[in-house]
Amino acid sequence: MPKEEAMESLVLSGVALDEDQARVAIKNVPDKPGIAGFIFTKLGEANINVDMIIQSSAEEGKNDISFTVEEEELKETKKIMEKIKQELKGSDVSYNSDVTRVSLVGGGMQSHPGVAGRTFACLGREGINIEMISTSEIRISCIIKKKEGKRAVRVIHKEFELELNKEK
């Protein structure tokens, strides 16, 4: 079996699309211990499930933290984040419900170089901009514009020669 074919058959099991997502970003939070814990504890106390979390590198003692929640939880998330914004003076919060999460799923991706690069490159060739990226040993997730979700699934399926479910 050719190397690429062997890698894909062992590594990739499918592509998942979750259109019930919203992205939240809090900017200019103090870069000090306990801030992320404070933010996510408040959200947890409200039973808001947070999925992808991305924290930027600190610059001038400040960080930006972005995360996703289910779109149906965005209204409550906004209430909590506006209170947090006031407590963390100087912070700004933005919200975007026009996003979707596309995830490439499969065991052992981390031990097979190039899967992430191929995923990002195939989306880029199609003009699909990635707003957030999160990876683990078994998943690569990208937050993109909602209108691009189904097309992104098709593009990734084609890139990795996966069977495409005709229902999508």
Domain 3-18+99-159: CATH superfamily is ACT domain (3.30.70.260)
Q: How confident is the model at residue 3 (pLDDT cuts 50, 70, 90)?
A: very low
How confident is the model at residue 11, as a pLDDT?
Answer: 72
d(CA 30, CA 23): 20
Residue 156's pLDDT is what? 94
**What are the residue boundaries of the structural domains of the chain, listed by start?**
3-18+99-159, 21-97
- So what's the pLDDT on residue 168? 41
Average model confidence (pLDDT) for the chain? Answer: 88
pLDDT of residue 6: 46
Q: Give pLDDT tens digits for 49-95.
A: 999 999 987 778 899 999 999 999 999 999 999 999 999 887 799 99
In this chain, the answer to whether the domains covering 3-18+99-159 and 21-97 adopt an identical fold is yes
- Residues forming beta bridges with residue 55, ordered by sequence position: 65
Considering Cα of 22, then 28, then 31, then 33, what sign does the dihedral take?
negative
Superfamily of domain 21-97: ACT domain (3.30.70.260)
Q: Rounded mean pLDDT of 35-48?
A: 96
Task: Note the helical H segments in the chain.
Answer: 3-11, 35-45, 74-87, 115-125, 149-159
